[in-house]
Chains A and B, each alone.
Chain A
């Protein structure tokens, strides 16, 4: 019931009619220099990237110190080993690799004398059929549009999806995930409801659809729940559970990828 659940997260929208926001100064405690690993293996043949850096204080700018000189490899269950070499500082790349459906990929990162491991299974591809735009009932007053994507969920298998949305090349600052707990085997319309960027007629909207494994779904879903921390919603935030041991920040995700772009009417 992802969609109904999302609607309940949207109760903040109703409350926001009477509530008001103010940007304030606040001093925070810092626990920085924690390792962050962000690894992605896609089903597109080409360079695959794993990034290593550390977190920074919230008051800093969004630039993250790279972790250099690490040993990074990925292997699959057949014993193929892909070596990732450092390109730009902290960015580890293997030049030519394709993620294959059903394969389990295991990442090994050795840095500062410690080894970090994570595994992820490449799911089957589910086609992104189309993207459409319509008047949003949530933001009915300002005439902005909401984006709906459509796919046909395969019956009898568990599927999880992650969507990234860009409006005129700018990423919408929201997590959108869905699974087929309630929609197995059906044609699914999924609303990408957000209040970060107002989408207007004429805007170019690009949606990337990723098919992800269960652990990654939990990771993104936990982040999505924390997105809505306004009045009425909100869980106590914490670091989302991920698939890396020993525990550090970030994730390692093998996923399919496809994008579609529309011009909003």
Chain B
């Protein structure tokens, strides 16, 4: 443990030695209308284009330069650029508010240059989405959806139609770290995956890291989706909402203390169940099918140096068949954060984070009643520090101590029930990490972003811990009696390195290597988004999953940075991947680890991305060519086979056009190679039933999928007091039948033969309309 700390110390002292005869400017960049802090706004010197920085997650920036006269440029997508003259002879604070651009207005300051952050930043494999774009992309039933929108980016694939699961560069859907105000979200979907848990009204910023993972993130193999909630308007009270076909939402925000503190509460609920009540069929009327969620946040800035934020999320889904079965599931999170500025160049954030996911299944039939629950709880203490030394170094370092406790499954039942009570032992662990990274601007042309993350998993008692052999037989068993007993530990050192060679203002080449480890694993019997998520920790049997990724890319902007082009190539190796044996029953099973089997994976591909960020017409085209394979000893005779998430070609096109002040149109088109599937290669009879025999795992493909969605937004006439708009969308415009699965069964028409049946989820176009308002 001592050596990384020592390294940090050495780096700090050496770097400080260089940082002389310089003055530091620091401050916060905000939205001029709402007072929301702006994340990722770039701050550069007009005189030296290579010198610059970007605001962090709290809108804070710090920049040290040699004393002199400068013009500071503050740039952020969707905002008017501000050029601020500073006479820099001593440290000073420059807080800036940027005013949002009217959508129609062409960029005024074109001559002054738009941000070329994507070219000059050493970070690669990252995509940031602009909320106003997300809000204009047409979606199913008008429910604006972050997760649906990110799957339109290259390298990120949807887990399937009507499913918010996503795969990043060949990783599984449980290998994404999804953070909402730093709290991990364990199940990011509502209604079996048709909608995501993120209400875009409450969201300020979305970033997804596909590679070149910064050292401050860890714990999952393939990606980090970092979502930040709105802080709330600290200038005026505002109410905004929408009434849609299946759901309505409302948001209230306003100042707690003007310009110092604000709050935001946002909620939505679906009402499909109200339609169920309209039917005359009594067996349908009693059924439930709805979800709701609430986001809330408040903040207070004591002064320029201290601020506190508190935020939370609560979501729940309820699905019930009257008198038969009830299920509900949901996430709860809470984040308390304290920002402190130790000096104008040392920024600190301390967070205490709570996160929980649980699901409940209830049997409601008299003699068969029971209640089964499963839960995962996290408590996390996290400290992140950011230290700018000169304009050459930005250091980030910190730690987190995360405690998981998992209740894998508990069944309770009344006395007369067929079901017995049953309790699978709870599990506790600590997932601790220590990290440090440095962004080092070596020269005008070369930047290194390098760091190290040390992650440790400490599985604690009490409980009985078994070790199983490959066949699933118990080979040893040991009982621990106290929570202070260490059962098993794993330490992983995760190097992260990215280099950026800036050829000129508009062109750069980047390369990165990173290692990630994962100690919490999702077991799911089903390829779909059922809520019966079962999380397990690394243990005597389950080793940490490890992924190593190398990637390189070329980044080019043209037409004064109005267009961004990038291409990235990646190769990823994955160790200790988990699958389960055939015929496994995973739920409420004390010996669930005896059913698992372990293998490796590899994924590689190339991503091409062309994006127009500004102007009346904007949007992007993404293309990915990739391959994702898995290898398990007892699957497919030990040979590599295409993973379910393997998709050779993936194309997405997004276009948004602002016709005039009132009308905006948008459209998306996607095309993807069909999923890798296993078709039978023969049949026989077993117990009187036609049974299929199989050869190669995932040796075939479903037909390719494609879909066109269109949307339009009509802004209401300007009123003094309020503003309203209509959003129209048509999902699946040409009613394409995207094959979801192909199954085989005894023919219903020709006896003694077999027929293939193709199932599509949405075989028609689905129109929708939403009315939005704010005042």
Contact = CB atoms under 8 A, between A and B. Distances in A.
B86 interface: no
Contacts of A58: 680-683, 692, 744, 754
Interface in B728-775: 737, 740-746, 752-763
B752 A63 contact: yes
Interface in B348-378: 361, 363, 365, 367-368, 370, 372
Interface string B688-707: 11111111011110000000
A38 B755 CA distance: 24
Interface stretch (A16-24, A69-77, A95-103, A198-206): A16-24
Nearest to A174: B689
Contacts of B688: 164, 171
B343 interface: no
Interface in B259-300: 281-284
A249 B680 CA distance: 13
B361 A4 contact: yes
A39 to B, nearest CB: 11
A26 B743 contact: no
Contact of A241 (B365, B530, B581, B694): B581
Contacts of A8: 361, 526, 530, 532
Contact of A236 (B283, B284, B409, B697): B697
Interface stretch (B29-37, B142-150, B319-327, B425-433): B319-327
B427 to A, nearest CB: 19
Residue among A11, A30, A232 with the highest chain B CB neighbour number at 10 A? A232
A225 B697 contact: no
B687 A220 contact: yes
B525 interface: yes
Nearest to B531: A8
Nearest to A229: B743
Contacts of A188: 418
Interface string B577-618: 000011101011100000000000000000000000000000
Nearest to B581: A241
B530 A11 contact: yes
Interface residues of B, number: 82
Given A235-B526, A250-B684, A18 B691 contact: no
A4 B583 contact: no
A56 B582 contact: no
Contacts of B420: 182-186
Nearest to A53: B684
B99 interface: no
Interface in B486-530: 525-528, 530
Given A34-B693, A249-B684, A23 B757 contact: yes
Interface size class of A (residues with CB under 8 A): 35 or more
Given A175-B687, A186-B420, A189-B418, A5 B587 contact: yes
B685 interface: yes
Interface in B396-416: 409, 411
A47 interface: no
B418 A186 contact: yes
B644 interface: yes
B637 to A, nearest CB: 11
Interface string A45-63: 0000000011111111111
B760 A20 contact: yes
Contacts of B760: 19-20, 22
Residue among B690, B744, B756 with the highest chain A CB neighbour number at 10 A? B756
Interface stretch (A79-87, A110-118, A137-145, A257-265): A137-145
B326 to A, nearest CB: 10
Contacts of A184: 420
B753 A61 contact: yes
B324 A38 contact: no
A223 interface: yes
Contacts of A64: 684-685
B417 interface: yes
Contacts of A59: 753-754
Contacts of B679: 26, 28-29
Interface string B416-446: 0111101000000000000000000000000
B759 A231 contact: yes
Contacts of B752: 61-63
A129 interface: no
Interface string A126-140: 000000000101101
18 contacts: A1-B409, A3-B419, A7-B363, A11-B528, A29-B695, A30-B682, A31-B682, A34-B682, A34-B684, A36-B686, A58-B680, A58-B683, A141-B283, A174-B689, A232-B528, A236-B678, A238-B697, A249-B691
Given A23-B757, A171-B688, A222-B583, 12 more contacts: A1-B411, A4-B370, A23-B758, A24-B742, A26-B679, A38-B686, A140-B282, A189-B418, A234-B528, A237-B678, A241-B582, A249-B691
Interface of B: 192, 281-284, 319, 321-325, 361, 363, 365, 367-368, 370, 372, 409, 411, 417-420, 422, 525-528, 530, 532, 581-583, 585, 587-589, 635, 644, 678-695, 697-700, 737, 740-746, 752-763
